[in-house]
Structures are given as C-alpha cells and as structure tokens.
Amino acid sequence: MAYEKLIVCSNIFKKFGKVEIFENMNITIESNQIIGLIGENGSGKTSFIKLISGMILPDQGNIYLFDKEIKCEKDIIALKDKISILGDANRSLYWNLSGMDNLIYFWTVKTGLNKKAGLMLINELVDKFNMGSFINKKVESYSKGMKQRLLLVVALLGHPEILVMDEPLNGLDYENTVILKNYINEFVNKENGTVLLTSHNSRFIDEVCDTKFVIKNKRIEKISNVERGERVIVVYYKCLKNKDSCLNKYIREEREENIFRVETYINDKDFYKELSWQIDNGNIELLEII
C-alpha cells in the first residue's frame, strides 16, 4: 500500500523533568525520499527517533505513522515491521553470536516468521553486501564497517518502508561512508523506501539527502530541498589494480604515481555506486574526501 505521508507529527510537546525538548513541534515526512535531520548535540534528534518508534510518549500532540494515529502499544506493534532503526553498529548486535546467527535470529524477531522462510532472503542479502567471507565468524571479531553492513542487513530483513539511521557515520572511515551512501540511494531508488538520517555532520546530509530538516528552538524546521549538482566533491584515492579502469569517466588527474584526484557533483549517485563497487572489489583505497 502506498502512503504519501509516512510520518506526521503535529503539535508535539515533550518535557523531561524541567527540560523542554519539543514545543509545538510539527513535521511531515513524505515517502520515497532521503530525509536529513540535523541539530546540535542534545537538540533532540534521538528523542525524535524515539518518539516515532514509540519508545517515548509525547506530553501533548499527535503522531501518525502510515496514516494511522499512534495511541497505544498495540498500534506501535502493528507498524513495527514497517520501520527499522539503525543505532550504533558497535552495539545493536549480539557480539557473542556469528553474523549469520544474528541474521537468522533477527529475521524471526522482526517478521514473526520461521528460519526457513527467511533463509533465501538472508543469503541474497549476504551476497549483495559482500559479507560471505566473514558472516559465519563471531561479531566480536568484526571491524566497524563490517558491523555497519551487518546492521544494515538486519534492518532490511523485514522489508521495512522506512529506514531510520541515527548518526550512521559514527566511527566510519571514508570507504565505508561511501558504501553506506550507495546503499541508502539504492534503498530509496530501487526499493521505493524512505530513509531518515540524523547527523550533526551537515556535509553528509547535504551530500545524501533530498530534504533537510533542522531542530532549532525546540521545533523542527524544513530548510530546503537540497539542489542536486550544486556543490562539488573531491576524492583522492590510490589505485591498487588497473588504473585505467578506475573512475576514469569523472574529472580526474594523477597527483602522484597511482594516486588520483576525481571531482564530481556532490549528489552524483552513479559516482557513489561506482566508487563503492571499486572499494568493494579492492581496486582502490580512499585517501581523502573534500
């Protein structure tokens, strides 16, 4: 079922003790977009995610998810499979189980279905996200990037319509940031999903998002639709394999031997896809993104 407005919060007031988090806060999130929510530390980004996931209740106001008003626990449970929340990848996973055990467990927990029904999808996702080489190892041995990928797959297990990512860049290096950007674009373009990102890194939000909101003075304000092609991104990388096949369709110059500089528009999704593919296949090593 297609919903035009996925999340509507109207006239939300929320206080924790004497601290006021939201005062008459309103926001409408439309489908099939990448939405960025920025704000200073402690401005209420995580509180907003908790509000829409039912982890905190508003003091006043109404929250509608998928055209349905959220009033009680039952309403939230009925919509839980439509929303997936990605927290910090260093937590959010059972570190004492293997990646595969985590996927099988969360498949049932997120969908209510048995292991058999999910194995095909799980294997598909493992292949798609290039996790075959480490999926049977314990999560405690994973790097941050591996954990982030696994967590993303966990989040995709129940075919959610909204992916909520709270500070997804925390601790991620350049390469994994590029891979993440590519996955986000794919989820929105190919699977008609919607992504809500929070970050205090406004550059990342500019690069990835279609619509940008800011939490300011206890309210959420829409800033503008980020215009594609407005800004330029510069990437320095080292070519590890065949240098002629690496990103050569972008403006490129060789700075030193095998070290290249490419330049393109900040929202060039094909560029991120190509870059992500090159990283995944070990063709290049990212040095710097400006």
Partner 1 sequence: MNKNINLFRAELRRGMTLLKAYPLDTINNLISFTVVSVLIIIGINKIGEPQQIFSVFLFPIIMTLISGPSSSIRSDIEIGVFEQVYTSKYTILSVGVIRSIINAIFSSANSILIFAIVQLFFHNTKWKIVELLFVLVITVLTSISLGVFLAGLTIKFRKTETLLNLINIMALIELIVPFSAMSSNIIYIISAILPFSGIIVCIQNIYNKIANLNEIYLFGTTVGNLFIIIVFSKFVFNKCMKSAKIKGDLGNY
Tell me how far the alpha carbon of residue 224 is from its chain's centroid.
Answer: 20
Shortest gap between Cβ of 60 and partner 1 (angstroms)? 12
Among 5, 24, 42, 57, binds partner 1 (CB under 8 A): 57
Residue in 36, 39, 87, 99 binding partner 1, rule: CB under 8 A = 87
**Residue 88 touches partner 1, criterion: CB under 8 A:** yes
Q: How far is the CB of 80 from partner 1 (least distance, A)?
A: 6
Alpha helices in the chain (DSSP H): 45-52, 73-79, 99-111, 115-128, 144-156, 174-189, 202-208, 269-280
Nearer to partner 1, 140 or 288 (CB): 140
Nearer to partner 1, 83 or 131 (CB): 83
Q: Closer CB to partner 1, residue 109 or residue 234?
A: 109
94 binds partner 1 per the rule CB under 8 A:
yes
Number of residues located near partner 1, criterion CB under 8 A = 41
Count of H helices and E strands in the chain? Answer: 8, 14
Q: How many CB atoms lie within 10 A of CB 149?
A: 25
Determine the interface stretch with partner 1 among 2-10, 45-53, 214-222, 259-267 (rule: CB under 8 A): 45-53
The three-class DSSP label of residue 224 is: strand
**Residue 203 structure tokens:** 């550059």
| CB contact at 8 A, 171 and 90 | yes
User: Considering the rule CB under 8 A, would residue 263 count as an interface residue with partner 1?
Assistant: no
Q: Is 143 in the site for partner 1 (CB under 8 A)?
A: no
Binding flag, residue 84, partner 1 (CB under 8 A): yes
Residue 93 vs 156, nearer CB to partner 1:
93
Does 130 contact partner 1 by CB under 8 A? no
Q: Which residues contact 167 (CB under 8 A, 6 or more apart)?
A: 45, 88, 198, 199, 200
Q: Is 38 helix (H, G, I), strand (E, B) or coil?
A: strand
